């Protein structure tokens, strides 16, 4: 009888933990190992379309703006081939996700990375273990869209 009461109390405690915000945090923070191939990109211009349509703010057309935004600390993502965006929080041992100079240098490139993904409240957060390959910029979007924003073109 005493054992039954103890078990009931433990179950109630576990349920209470799950129902608290802190409990939900722990439940949500489960990592998944993935290999992702896609384009390194700027999350704000892609989502807001403030500079142009989402397809226009990828690749070479938007490279310079993507570098500006990465330097300004706008979170950088990887747009995978299946259309999912993964927000980069870590690159190897380097945990600088705000204006990381290493990330600036690979902006707009097509990369394949291995890492851990945490899914939380509708977003995917990526901790890159390793960049498996870097093909450079393969999306020659400037052929369709020119340079976005146009004021980024140097005056001759």
Partner 1 sequence: MKCLRKGRAALAAALTLGACVFGLQSSPLRAADSWNVTGEEAARFDATVVDILCELTGDCAEDCGGGQRQLGLLTDDGVLILADKNAAPFAGAVDELIPFCKQKVTVDGLFSENRGLRLFAVQFVKPVGEDGKWRRANRFLTNWAVANGVDPESKAKNGWFKKDPRVVAVIEEQGFLGLGPDADRAYLDAQ
Residue ranges binding partner 1 (CB under 8 A): 21-22, 24-25, 29, 31, 43-44, 46-50, 54, 60-61, 63-65, 67-69, 71-75, 83-85, 87, 89-90, 95-99, 101, 104-105, 107-109, 118, 120-123, 125, 127, 136-137, 140, 142, 147, 152-154, 156
**Partners of 90 in the beta sheet?**
127
Structure tokens at 133: 């390959």
Q: How far lies 8's CA from each of 11, 17, 27, in Å?
A: 5, 14, 21
Closest CA to 65 of 79, 50, 81, 80: 50
C-beta of 1: minimal distance to partner 1 in Å?
Answer: 37
CA distance 126 to 43: 14
C-beta of 8 vs 133, nearer to partner 1: 133
Tell me whether residue 9 or residue 18 sits nearer to partner 1 (CB atom): 18
Smallest gap from residue 146 Cβ to partner 1 (A):
9
């Amino acid at each position: 009888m005493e054992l039954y009461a103890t078990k009931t109390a433990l179950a109630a405690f576990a349920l209470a933990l799950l129902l608290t915000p802190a409990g939900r945090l722990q439940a949500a923070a489960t990592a998944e190992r993935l290999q992702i191939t896609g384009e390194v990109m700027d999350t704000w211009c892609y989502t807001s379309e403030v500079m142009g349509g989402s397809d226009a703010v990828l690749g070479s057309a938007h490279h310079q703006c993507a570098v500006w935004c990465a330097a300004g600390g706008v979170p950088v993502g990887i747009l995978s081939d299946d259309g999912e965006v993964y927000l980069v929080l870590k690159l190897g041992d380097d945990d600088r996700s705000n204006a990381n100079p290493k990330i600036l240098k690979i902006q707009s490139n097509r990369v394949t990375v291995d890492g851990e993904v945490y899914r939380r409240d509708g977003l995917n957060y990526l901790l890159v273990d390793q960049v498996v390959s870097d093909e450079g910029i393969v999306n020659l979007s400037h052929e369709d869209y020119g340079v976005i924003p146009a004021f980024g073109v140097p005056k001759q």
